[in-house]
Amino acid sequence: MSAFNEQDVEGFLAALHSECRIDLIGGFDGVMGEGFKGEEGARRFYEEWFAAFETMHVAVERSLEAGERLVILHKLVGTGKGSGVPVELLGAAIYSFADDRISRAVFYYDRDEALEAAGLTNSA
């Protein structure tokens, strides 16, 4: 998470499989599109994401195992670039792995939707 909070695109890309896929579900997909593929797609995603914020910090609130996937419940706090509008988001991500790297990251705007997609109850 430190690479993300430091807006270190190269550091975050180092954790991704070369054929990774990033998918956005819910409120995100209407802003940035539904998905990004491979290293160049991931680079574009993170550069566009970071460009939207003047300040941003993401904290992991909880990690849950879902079979071979990892579910992260997170809190993002920041301010919009240019607007200065405060942003707070309680979201989730589901990570899949191949060769000890992230092969797929699915970001959810709604935590309950992520937990359901991972086969976990919304009581987590």
Sorted by where each starts, the structural domains of the chain and their CATH numbers stand as: 2-117 (3.10.450.50)
Dist CA 52 CA 49 (whole Å): 5
Two structure tokens written together for 32: 């940035």
> Residue 16 to residues 37, 66, 98, 122: CA-CA distances in angstroms?
11, 19, 9, 28
pLDDT surpassing 70 at residue 110 = yes
What pLDDT score does 2 carry?
82
pTM of the model: 0.88
Q: 87: helix, coil or strand? A: strand
DSSP conformation letters of 37-59: EHHHHHHHHHHHHHHTEEEEEEE
Provide the percentage of residues in the chain whose pLDDT is more than 70.
91
Provide the percentage of residues in the chain whose pLDDT is more than 90.
66
What pLDDT score does 3 carry?
81
The enclosing H or E element of 78 equals: strand 69-80
